[in-house]
Homo-oligomer: A and B are copies of this chain.
Amino acid sequence: MISEAMTQQILDAVDAAFDEQLAATAELVATPSLRAGEEAAQDLIEERLRGLGLDVDRWSIGSPELEAHPGYGPATVDYGTMTNVVGTAIPAQDTGRSVILNGHIDVVPEGPEAQWARSPWDAEIHDGWMYGRGAGDMKAGLIANLFAFDAIRRAGLALTGRVHIQSVVEEECTGNGSLAALLRGYRADAVIIPEPEEDALVRANVGVIWFTVRVSGQPTHPREMETGFNAIDAAYQVISELRVLEERWNQEKDQYPYFEDLAHPINLNIGGIQGGDWPSSVPAWCEMRVRVALYPGVSADSAWAQIEACLAAAGTRGAVPFDVVGTRDGFYAEGYVLEPGSDAELLLEETHRAAFGRELTSFTTPGYLDGRVFVGYADIPTLVYGPVSENIHGFDERVSVESVRNCTKSIALFLASWCGVTAAD
């Protein structure tokens, strides 16, 4: 750790710029960045990175290498106009360790706005919380990366290690954005990703597979409904069958370190459904969009094979056999464990104590994280660690303002100690 004096300088620098940081966060929240619509928000990030004096690399993420990578999730959007933005600072005196500060720019759909207490894009602050879609997941963390980096300069110091600040797309659906950044060649001695993680460190997390299930058969007029096939009823049969698989996987939790104590680590979510063409026609088809988790150590191929077997069986269970087709259309991502004891984690324990005045805790989260890219494919210790939030992916998403402040401090202190600092010129 750096000296107490330097520590205080950095903490003060974060406080001094914190109103500005909140304004920058609000501006980013107020710039919607739904999938395939991230460019305006990436423009803001690029501008800020340039303002911080970083060299900016911005590129469309699609490539044959990406599609050939085992961690690639099949895309259903055009990557031709979807860019990652990375700002790089290589110090003149490059003697310290390097770090990647990663965050994702994309947010999930806001859902029916009438169910929000206020607009999801206003980014208003009330009673210590900033509200809005993406406020927690993870625009507060993305902006925190920039302000943590800048706090070093504001404190009159200069880092002596290389820093890459990454703003990636596709974290909410495929994980292809961080994967594309890795394939672009970005490597470092540690990665920090300030996802909304309750001021704690993620020790382990699940992988995720996305797929669409299409059920189809022969429909009829409702006047002869009892002789026909109803794809919506059949879809619910398929859901039941998938729930059996889900429970089987949950029952295996004792085999997976860090997952034994979770009540229900494997969640299978039917996130979307659509079927039928006409109220008075028995529906011939129904499609469901499904998200399911898998433990670290379970390959995506193995999980997918079990899912396909489950779907095939579902089509044969009822009185009338029907077609069930599963298609992968997003995440095909494996989980990871952050092995304890890395230098990066040991340092974070110290900077967390300095920023929050309490011990760092770690936990297992049953959601997807881009950490899997850096841990799984580049063996880089990756600290997924970020602010307290509520209702991410729900209505009235919000992030704790004081938590953001302290996370920013912790990250800034990490940067200084990890990369090393000198007095600025």
Given A263-B226, A264-B226, is A395 in contact with B219 using a C-beta cutoff of 8 Å?
A: yes
A291 touches B108 (CB 8 A): no
- In the bound complex, residues from chain B placing their C-beta under 8 Å from that of A318 are none
Given A236-B236, A393-B219, A394-B218, is A208 in contact with B273 using a C-beta cutoff of 8 Å?
A: no
Interface residues of A in 94-145 (CB under 8 A from B): 108-109, 111-112, 115, 137
Residue of B at shortest CB range from A365? B223
Of B216, B225, B392, the residue contacting A112 (CB under 8 A) is: B216
Min CB gap A328→B, angstroms: 11
- In the bound complex, residues from chain B placing their C-beta under 8 Å from that of A288 are 232
B280 touches A276 (CB 8 A): no
- In the bound complex, residues from chain B placing their C-beta under 8 Å from that of A225 are 264, 267, 269
Q: Could you tell me the distance between the alpha carbons of A291 and B279 in the complex, rounded to whole angstroms?
A: 6
Q: Could you tell me the distance between the alpha carbons of A222 and B208 in the complex, rounded to whole angstroms?
A: 11
- In the bound complex, residues from chain B placing their C-beta under 8 Å from that of A232 are 270, 273, 288
A272 touches B276 (CB 8 A): yes
B277 touches A109 (CB 8 A): yes
Q: Give the size category of A's interface with B.
A: 35 or more
Given A112-B285, A281-B108, A282-B269, is A291 in contact with B222 using a C-beta cutoff of 8 Å?
A: yes
A220 touches B394 (CB 8 A): yes
Given A271-B278, A280-B393, is A285 in contact with B111 using a C-beta cutoff of 8 Å?
A: yes
Q: Could you tell me the distance between the alpha carbons of A267 and B222 in the complex, rounded to whole angstroms?
A: 6
| A233 interfacial contact with B, CB 8 Å | yes
Of B115, B269, B395, the residue contacting A280 (CB under 8 A) is: B269
Interface string of A371-410 (1 = CB under 8 A from B): 0000000000000000000011111000000000000000
A274 touches B274 (CB 8 A): yes
- In the bound complex, residues from chain B placing their C-beta under 8 Å from that of A115 are 216, 218, 284-285
Given A218-B394, A285-B112, is A280 in contact with B223 using a C-beta cutoff of 8 Å?
A: no
| A326 interfacial contact with B, CB 8 Å | no
B280 touches A271 (CB 8 A): yes
Given A220-B394, A232-B270, A285-B111, is A279 in contact with B330 using a C-beta cutoff of 8 Å?
A: yes
Residue of B at shortest CB range from A240? B236
Given A272-B283, A284-B115, is A278 in contact with B222 using a C-beta cutoff of 8 Å?
A: no
A208 touches B173 (CB 8 A): no
Q: Which 8 A-B pairs have the closest CB atoms?
A: A271-B279, A272-B276, A223-B367, A221-B393, A109-B277, A281-B393, A222-B269, A279-B291
A-B contact pairs, 30 of them (CB 8 A): A108-B278, A108-B280, A111-B219, A112-B216, A115-B216, A115-B218, A115-B285, A137-B221, A173-B279, A173-B280, A219-B394, A221-B393, A221-B394, A222-B267, A222-B291, A222-B293, A222-B393, A223-B367, A225-B264, A230-B269, A235-B273, A270-B283, A271-B281, A271-B282, A272-B276, A272-B283, A278-B289, A280-B368, A280-B393, A284-B394
- New contact pairs (7) apart from A271-B277, A274-B274, CB-CB < 8 Å: A223-B267, A271-B283, A272-B275, A272-B279, A273-B276, A273-B283, A279-B290
